[in-house]
Structure 1
Amino acid sequence: MALRPVNVNFKALDDEVVGRFWAEALGWGVSSEGPGVTNVEPGGGFVWPDATAVCIDVVKVPEPKTATKNRVHLDLATTSAAHQAESVARLKALGATPVDVGQGDVPWTVLADPEGNEFCVLEPREIYRDTGPIAAVVIDCVDPRAMARFWDGAVDWTLHEVSDDRAVLRSAKGVGPYLEFLRSGAKTVPDRVHIDLLPYSGDDKDAEVDRLRALGATDLDLGQGDVPWTCLADPEGHEFCVLGRS
């Protein structure tokens, strides 16, 4: 049995505006599975789910962003200093704004999408040369080692690095973005951005959910009602969903 990360889910007041921004930012396409949902994924024959990309789902909600800083954000890859500068300029033209999250003097640029969701445009790094436009999905946490234990057991990705300050996983196929847990402060408000996990064909979702509970996940009631996915939280309270097979 196993699960794999397949989506990053954004809550938004206007899913179409936020979805179009991310599609243009990444050079991906836009579709919709229904009212209030905008799906962003690669073109060129990409068939979801595929380890080469973690896609983006933007879901309309009535509540605005309240957290000073999201605990989940995307890092975008660049290939050169010129590419980084061009990317920042292009993203600003699309509606991104510079934000100060206390990063200080760093080689990457911190921006926010049209609804204030932070993301980073990284300086070129060799490790991200083959990830696609999303270098990493980054999650703030108190204890990266504890997150490594839970998420290494939760998903079938490979644990590449673990220390007191950082834990890093990536698909065992060696493609697509990394999943990174960075030491930061404790969670204080519900996450605006979360990860969706998907079972493999033939695996039982309910059995996977039970396995996650045994690893330390807890059930989460967000008012979702009777839906085909299950909402859980990891041991530090980060929300995530286990999707049903489509």
Structure 2
Amino acid sequence: MALRLVQANFKARDDAALGRFWAEALGWVSHSSPGATSVVPVGFVWTDPDAPVCVDVIAVPDPETVKYRAHIELATTSAAHQAELVARLKELGATPADVGQGDVPWTVLADSEGNVFCVLEPREMYRDTGPIAAVVVDCADPRAMARFWGEAMDWTLHEVTDDRALLRSAKDVGPYLEFLRTPHLHDLSHRVHLDVVPYRGDGQAAEVARLQTLGATPADVGQGNFPWVVLADPEGNEFCVLAPA
């Protein structure tokens, strides 16, 4: 039994507009329904076990009050590509963001609704991830988070220190999942969380029970009567367990 990371979930006032931004940013397409917009590659098949991690945008009345500790990082293939991508993102409505990063080789931006993300300088390890290099989760204990999420998703641990842990699909496809030790977590308000889904043949209820034995706890974010289950990981980050297709 294991789970598949299927999407980074954004909260927004205007899900369709933010979905269009990310579709343009990633070179993907967006599909909107009332209150929700999915951003996926052309030809995306939801049930494909090797499908890439996508973006889902959900409309909420006031996303400023929704606090999550995750962001995404975009991959580039050269210095010229990084500069071109940053320029294009600014044309789409992104703005420079200062999160105390100092003099670093990557560029920190905020999307059209203020969600912070990074455009990385070229890195060999991200050459085959696709446009999303990594989903980064701020945390207090990267080692503990790597243990929980590694068991939850059966991903491979590529690096672990007191400051950072890196996981990736056992098939070495798609983005990395990075846990970054971050002080003052209560001061952060990134409006992104993770959505996972059981593989076909595995039940949602059984996976939810298994996650709770690993240290997850039920979470109430006002979700109401929906087919997904909201849990919190051992550091309190909410995530959703979707029903398998």
Fold conserved (TM > 0.5)?
A: yes
RMSD: 1.5
Shift of 1:192: 1.7
Letter in 1 for 2:27: G
SS at match of 2:121: coil
Aligned to 2:193: 194
Aligned to 2:223: 224
For the Cα contact (< 8 Å) 1:65–1:115, is it kept in 2? no
Aligned to 1:22: 22
Aligned to 1:215: 214
Aligned to 1:132: 130
Letter in 2 for 1:105: D
Shift of 1:185: 2.3
For the Cα contact (< 8 Å) 1:75–1:134, is it kept in 2? yes
Normalising to structure 2: TM-score of the pair? Answer: 0.95
Q: 1:70 to 1:198 in 2, by over 3 A?
A: closer
Once the two structures are aligned, what percentage of the paired residues are identical?
Answer: 70
SS at match of 2:10: strand
For the Cα contact (< 8 Å) 1:70–1:117, is it kept in 2? no
| 1:27-176 aligned within 5 A | 27-32=27-32, 34-43=33-42, 45-50=43-48, 51-65=50-64, 71-176=69-174
For the Cα contact (< 8 Å) 2:231–2:240, is it kept in 1? yes
Structure 2, gaps ≥5 residues long: none
Letter in 2 for 1:10: F
Shift of 1:49: 4.2
Alpha-carbon displacement from aligned partner over 1:6-34 (angstroms, at most 9, x marks no partner): 011001011011100000000000113x3
Normalising to structure 1: TM-score of the pair? Answer: 0.95
Aligned to 2:203: 204
What is the number of residues matched between the two proteins? 243
Letter in 1 for 2:167: L
User: Which of 180, 186, 199 is 1:182 aligned to?
Assistant: 180
Cα distance in 2 for residues equivalent to 1:72 and 1:127? 20
Cα distance in 2 for residues equivalent to 1:24 and 1:107? 23
Cα distance in 1 for residues equivalent to 2:225 and 2:174? 32
SS at match of 1:209: helix
Aligned to 1:3: 3
Shift of 1:156: 2.0
For the Cα contact (< 8 Å) 1:7–1:55, is it kept in 2? yes
Shift of 1:187: 3.6
Letter in 1 for 2:138: D
